[in-house]
């Protein structure tokens, strides 16, 4: 991508004096790139430590199924809260201010995680999930604000560059936070995550002058009546949650039933949100058609993330218990496996972005539907590969080479590049004007739905061990069949999308 000054780029936040761009993109992309890099550093560092800390004798010393359930529910809540995060931006603060507030809450959450008691640990998880929800949807929305509408040819490339920033932070986190947490002290690792988010917040505040003015706009300001209603309903829900969990604690059922209400909410809320949008009479016929097409992408993404997000739970626990963690005579911490995916992303994302552009110029770029179908096929193949070391360890009880996990993460990464940056872009293209910020939250609800399924399966009520050959085989088959299904209906979905490809 050539670095050149354009009129549109200047209008979207690129400084006119000096003609500087960020790899040919608006200068504001550099600010958002660096902010998201540090936020992901803190998030993925904690993510790499979480399941290991939960099963470690020096940590919570839980069963693998319980650790997987907690991890899945935590991930589901991070992305569920992206929806109200977008709503808060639309109604109260605007995307820019919401991101700053969210980053501050994340810092507080990581500091709370660093306190060595169980109650503060779970309180820290809540704060990190809340802050991430406020930040995540809105920073992606601000990337869209930098471009000259949905048809700007630089848009997909910009989101891919932004995705590299995400993965640069994700790569560094396990190598630093993971190593400190596993080798020195778990809570020192959580403290280091707080430092990373603080650096991200500082970078964001220093670079806001390069962002589009649109990122500071409250698109649908709340009336005083609405503000009072939100406060009243928020307090009622808080009291109800406190009463429920107090009752579970008093009756001795807290451990068995605490996750179930959250898991069910993670499944019900995404469906309810989509139904509410579809029933909105203010949307135009074109917007309704695009929303119908978008639901197909949402379902595909939910299935994809249900399997993909097990790289931090099922695959991580397998790495801890069933791989040698030795390569070329060098022993490494289990958390380092979490750096594989971002390494592959950074290596392959520019190649894939260039390939899409090269094919587009020749009129041969695959449609969004085909890219999504490919992502499901690939995530299914990755679990088919996972079956081999699982069966090997089941038969002889030994440990396998870490290269098996390297291969699995490699296949998953190619699938991710066919879905995630494309999904971010298509969400901004197909969003109804009324739900501009909220639609990015809807995209993240697909992650919530997928992770909630994993959380429900591993909950004490069902107690399914996802780290078995039978479970992995079923998930692989579901993904491949679903991918083939959307490919068969690709023409129908493309018709619903209208002018969007």
Q: How confident is the model at residue 16 (pLDDT cuts 50, 70, 90)?
A: very low
Q: Which residue has the higher pLDDT, 266 or 350?
A: 266
Burial state string for 269-282 with b = 16 or more CB within 10 A and e = fewer than 16: bbeebbeebeeeee
Residue 224 lies in a domain: no
48 has a pLDDT exceeding 60: yes
422 has a pLDDT exceeding 60: yes
pLDDT for 13 equals: 42
56-70 pLDDT tens trace? 888 888 888 888 988
Structure tokens at 478: 């579901």
| Cβ–Cβ < 8 Å for 152, 314 | no
Report percent pLDDT > 90 for the chain.
Answer: 30
Question: Over 424-470, what HEC string results?
Answer: HHHHHHHCCHHHCCHHHHHHHHHHHHHHHHHHHHCCCCCCCCCCCHH
Q: How confident is the model at residue 151 (pLDDT cuts 50, 70, 90)?
A: low
14 has a pLDDT exceeding 50: no
Residue 11 lies in a domain: no
Residue 333 lies in a domain: yes
Domain that holds residue 280: 21-219+253-497
Q: What's the mean per-residue pLDDT of the chain?
A: 84
pTM of the model: 0.83
439-455 pLDDT tens trace? 777 888 899 999 999 99
Whole-angstrom CA distances from 183 to 54, 232, 321, 327, 407 are 15, 46, 17, 18, 26
> How far is the C-alpha of 361 from the C-alpha of 368, rounded, in Å?
16
Residue 351 lies in a domain: yes
Q: 97-111, 145-159, 411-425: lowest mean pLDDT where?
A: 145-159
Whole-angstrom CA distances from 162 to 139, 311, 487 are 10, 22, 28
How many structural domains is the chain composed of? 1
For the residues 260-282, what does the mean pLDDT come to? 89
> How far is the C-alpha of 441 from the C-alpha of 438, rounded, in Å?
5
272 has a pLDDT exceeding 50: yes
Q: How confident is the model at residue 3 (pLDDT cuts 50, 70, 90)?
A: very low
31 has a pLDDT exceeding 60: yes
Maximum average pLDDT range among 164-173, 223-232, 371-380: 371-380
Residue 226 lies in a domain: no
pLDDT for 150 equals: 66
Residue 240 lies in a domain: no
For the residues 64-82, what does the mean pLDDT come to? 88
Strand partners, 330: 327
15 has a pLDDT exceeding 60: no
pLDDT for 495 equals: 80
pLDDT for 377 equals: 95
154 has a pLDDT exceeding 80: no
| Cβ–Cβ < 8 Å for 25, 9 | yes
Residue 15 lies in a domain: no
Helices 314-322 and 28-55 cross at an angle (nearest 10°) of: 50
Q: 96-100, 271-275, 486-490: lowest mean pLDDT where?
A: 486-490
For the residues 4-24, what does the mean pLDDT come to? 46
pLDDT for 432 equals: 86
Residue 270 lies in a domain: yes
For the residues 29-45, what does the mean pLDDT come to? 87
Q: How confident is the model at residue 395 (pLDDT cuts 50, 70, 90)?
A: low
For the residues 139-144, what does the mean pLDDT come to? 82
Query: What is the domain-level CATH number for residue 491?
Result: 1.20.1250.20
Report percent pLDDT > 70 for the chain.
Answer: 92
């Amino acid at each position: 991508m050539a670095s050149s000054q354009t009129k549109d780029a200047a209008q979207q936040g690129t400084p006119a004096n000096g003609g500087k761009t960020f790899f040919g993109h608006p200068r504001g992309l550099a600010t958002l790139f660096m902010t998201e890099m540090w936020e992901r550093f803190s998030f993925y560092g904690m993510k790499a430590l979480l399941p290991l800390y939960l099963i470690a004798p020096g940590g919570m010393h839980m069963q693998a199924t319980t650790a997987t359930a907690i991890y899945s529910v935590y991930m589901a809540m991070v992305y569920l809260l992206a929806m109200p995060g977008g709503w808060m931006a639309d109604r109260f603060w605007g995307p820019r201010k919401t991101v700053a507030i969210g980053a501050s809450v994340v810092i507080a959450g990581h500091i709370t995680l660093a306190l060595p008691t169980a109650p503060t640990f779970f309180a820290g998880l809540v704060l990190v999930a809340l802050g991430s929800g406020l930040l995540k949807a809105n920073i992606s929305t601000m990337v869209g604000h930098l471009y000259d509408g949905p048809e700007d040819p630089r848009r997909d490339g910009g989101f891919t560059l932004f995705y590299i920033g995400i993965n640069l932070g994700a790569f560094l986190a396990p190598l630093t936070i993971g190593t400190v947490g596993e080798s020195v002290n778990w809570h020192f690792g959580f403290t280091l995550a707080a430092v990373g988010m603080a650096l991200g917040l500082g970078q964001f505040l220093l670079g806001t002058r390069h962002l589009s003015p649109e990122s500071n706009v409250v698109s649908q300001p709340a009336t005083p009546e609405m503000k009072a209603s939100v406060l009243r309903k928020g307090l009622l829900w808080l009291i109800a949650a406190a009463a429920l969990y107090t009752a579970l604690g008093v009756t001795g059922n807290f451990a068995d039933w605490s996750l179930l209400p959250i898991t069910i909410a993670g499944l019900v809320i995404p469906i309810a949100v989509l139904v509410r949008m579809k029933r909105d009479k203010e949307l135009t016929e074109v917007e309704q058609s695009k929303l119908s097409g978008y639901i197909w992408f949402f379902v595909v993404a939910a299935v994809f993330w249900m399997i993909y997000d097990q790289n931090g739970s099922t695959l991580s626990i397998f790495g801890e218990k069933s791989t040698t963690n030795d390569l070329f005579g060098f022993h490494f911490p289990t958390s380092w496996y979490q750096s594989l995916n971002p390494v592959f992303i950074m290596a392959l994302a520019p190649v894939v972005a260039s390939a899409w552009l090269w094919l587009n110029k020749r009129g041969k770029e695959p449609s969004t539907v085909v890219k999504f179908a490919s992502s499901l096929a690939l995530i299914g193949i990755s679990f088919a590969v996972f079956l081999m070391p699982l069966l090997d360890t089941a038969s002889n009880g030994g440990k396998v080479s870490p290269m098996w996990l390297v291969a699995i993460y490699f296949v998953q990464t190619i699938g991710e590049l066919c879905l995630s940056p494309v999904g971010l872009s298509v969400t901004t293209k197909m969003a109804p004007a009324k739900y501009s910020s909220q639609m990015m939250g809807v995209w993240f609800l697909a992650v919530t739905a997928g992770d909630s399924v994993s959380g429900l399966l591993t909950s004490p009520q069902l107690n399914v061990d996802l780290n078995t050959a039978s479970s992995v085989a079923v998930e692989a088959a579901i993904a491949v069949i679903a991918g083939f299904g959307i490919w068969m209906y690709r023409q129908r979905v493309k018709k619903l999308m209208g002018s969007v490809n």
